[in-house]
Amino acid sequence: MAAVVDENIPPPLNPRVRDLPWHTPFKWIKLALGDIRATPTGLLFYGAAFAAMGWGIRALFGYAPEHTMTLVTAFLLAGPFICLGLYEISRRHETVAKVRLLPTLTALRINKAGISLFAIILALIVAGWMRVSVVVFALFFTEDIPDLKLILSPSFLVEPENLTFMIVWIGSGAFFALLTFALSVVSIPVMLDRDSDTLTAMFASVRVCLANPVCMLTWGAIIVALVLLGFVLWGVGVAITVPLVGHATWHAYRALIE
């Protein structure tokens, strides 16, 4: 007698991880552009939301470079969660030709417990980075803090103390960024697609990074470049680059996890 297969059975929670070449992330970007063309309303809505965040940071904290630089990098750390709706658009594209925007706004309900716990973990990491960043500024600048334009200019690094500050600040941020990346590179897509618990999803992300170190370094560099480019261009840039990264992350999950 032929075995009966239940098509509703989800994929295994601890699947195999694929080994991919270093240049594969560029293919994910190409696929993400296809998702944007198929559902431009996603780019418009989520892009406008990300742009509003960028404008808000600039308007509220433009006078304080220590807060501006910290919040911009914190935005990058929180990216895996704030792109949730974009993952859902890409997920639906696999089965539906035309995706409606409204259902993607409630994607959290698909795995509320797992994704919410993961969001709390991300929030703790972001809070830790914000505290460390402000402390680094306070240690190196006991009097007036230079404005943001001066800090980002090449002339700022002429002074040895300023160069040391940048090395310490960037090094501290790199630690939090690598930690976040390792725990989140495919975590939320796994939870959306497989109804996985938080720890299993994070473990899958770590396995992906260990199995594909060069590919993941390439992908991480692309993410940082796109997000920072978006903030340099403020509203217009963030509205395009962050949704692009969000859609590409879904395709990264599909390529990396069997």
Query: Do residues 243 and 46 lie in contact, with contact meaning Cβ atoms separated by under 8 Å?
Result: yes
- Cα distance between residue 142 and residue 30, in whole Å: 47
Query: Do residues 165 and 173 lie in contact, with contact meaning Cβ atoms separated by under 8 Å?
Result: no
Helix, strand, coil percentages (3-state) for the chain, rounded to 5, are: 80, 0, 20
pLDDT score recorded for residue 5: 38
Tokens (6 digits) for 22: 């270093």
Q: Which one-letter amino acid corresponds to residue 9? A: I
Cα dihedral 60/105/78/235 (nearest 10): -40
Cα dihedral 100/103/108/109 (nearest 10): -140
Q: Which helix (H) or strand (E) holds 215?
A: helix 213-232
Q: Which one-letter amino acid corresponds to residue 111? A: N
Q: Which residues of the chain are modeled with pLDDT < 70?
A: 1-15, 58, 60-67, 234-235
**What sign does the dihedral 57-62-68-69 (CA atoms) show?**
positive
pLDDT score recorded for residue 247: 95
Query: Crossing angle of helices 234-256/213-232, nearest 10°?
Result: 160
pLDDT score recorded for residue 134: 87
**What sign does the dihedral 129-22-88-258 (CA atoms) show?**
negative
Nearest to 99 by CA among 153, 37, 188, 145: 37
